[in-house]
Structures are given as C-alpha cells and as structure tokens.
Amino acid sequence: MKRYLAIGFFAMLILDTCPARAAGQTDRWQLAFKYSTIEFVGKQAEDNAIKRGSYGALEAYFKLLPGYYIGSEIGGSSINNGSKVNLGGTVWDADFEYLSIELNAKAIHQLARWLDVEAGLGCALVEAGNVPVYFSAENYTKTYFGAQGFAGINIKGEHWYTGIDAKYQLVEDDYSNWRGGVHLGYRFD
C-alpha cells in the first residue's frame, strides 16, 4: 500500500508541470475530503459478510482545459464483519479492509455562479481482504483492478465548495460497490 501512495504522490508532482500551469489558468487545483456510505453489491459481499460501511477519501484534481480536470482519489473503509483469522494457532478478530487508489477524469459544467455539476470516469487499484486487528494489511489483502463512473453537484463560494456525489465502482473478483456521500473542498491556483 505504501508504494501505491508514493507513486500517486510523485505522479501528482510530475503532473504539476503540465501546460495548464504555464498557461496561468485560475482554479487550477481542487482538493477535497469526502465522506460516503459504501455498499458492496457482489458475491464477495455475501461471502465476507460485508454489506455497508463508511468510506473516507481525499481527492486532488488539476485543470487540463476549462471545465476538464484530471486527478486522483485515495480512500478506504474498515468494516467490522465479525470475521476471525487463525495465525499460528491463535484466533484473532479481523476487519474487512478496503483501499481504493483511483485516477479519474471529470468534466464540470457551471449551472449558476454558485452551482455546478460534475461527471467523470476513472480506473482504480483496490486492496481488499480480512485483516487481523492490530496487524498490517500488507500480508492479508489482495490487489484488484477496477473502473468507475461518478457524478456530483457542488455549491461553491469564491474558493470553498461543498456538495453531494455518487459513484459506482466495478472491481474484479466481485468487490463492486456503490458510494454516495458528501464532500468539502477548496479551489486554488
């Protein structure tokens, strides 16, 4: 997981040197915190006794062209599903851990000076599995690939914005999920 976070961080630094920076466009960056409900819809949800939980994420986007952004979202969920893991004869309580690292593209359409809508598509690396409490997730999760579509509505001020969003993420090995929630963000140059 640490290597994915490092790759994402360095990719965002590299992308900061894109032509949009040189053009001096305003509102070049968007940074937001998201809080959502996540609901798993596949066979894995039944097998792992996971249905619904909380999901928190941090997202960052930069403007490629007026109204078009590219960015990344890193978020996760830990759901107490009552599972157990046997480690060397000792049984430990385990939680279902879900981490999603996404690369997304979105379009924003302004409806009014204070209101806009957004929609987009993306791809993801997902780590999921039952992890013993107090242990590192690296040894107990598997990595999967996914794709998603999302939409949202924003109420915005000069720099701050807030709104609601919905996302469907299609993930291999049947870890697909729906998310719906709120976000709070800041736009800056």
Per-residue pLDDT of the chain (189 residues; tens, 9 = 90+): 445 544 554 454 444 444 444 444 458 999 999 999 999 997 877 777 788 999 999 999 999 999 999 999 999 999 988 887 777 788 888 888 999 999 999 999 999 999 999 999 999 999 998 888 777 666 678 999 999 999 999 999 989 999 999 999 999 988 999 999 999 999 998
> What's residue 17's pLDDT?
45
The residue ranges of every structural domain in the chain are 2-188
Q: Please give the class, per CATH, of domain 2-188.
A: mainly beta
> Is the pTM value of this prediction over 0.85?
no
Q: Are 70 and 15 in contact (CB under 8 A)?
A: yes
> What's residue 13's pLDDT?
45
> What's residue 119's pLDDT?
98
Structural tokens at position 36 = 């959502």
CA angle 115, 181, 30 (to 5 degrees): 50
> What's residue 130's pLDDT?
82
Cα–Cα distance, 143 to 79 (Å, whole number):
18
Instruction: Convert 131-152 to b/e letters by CB count within 10 Å (16 or more is b).
Output: bbeeeebeebbeebebebebeb
Structural tokens at position 9 = 């961080």
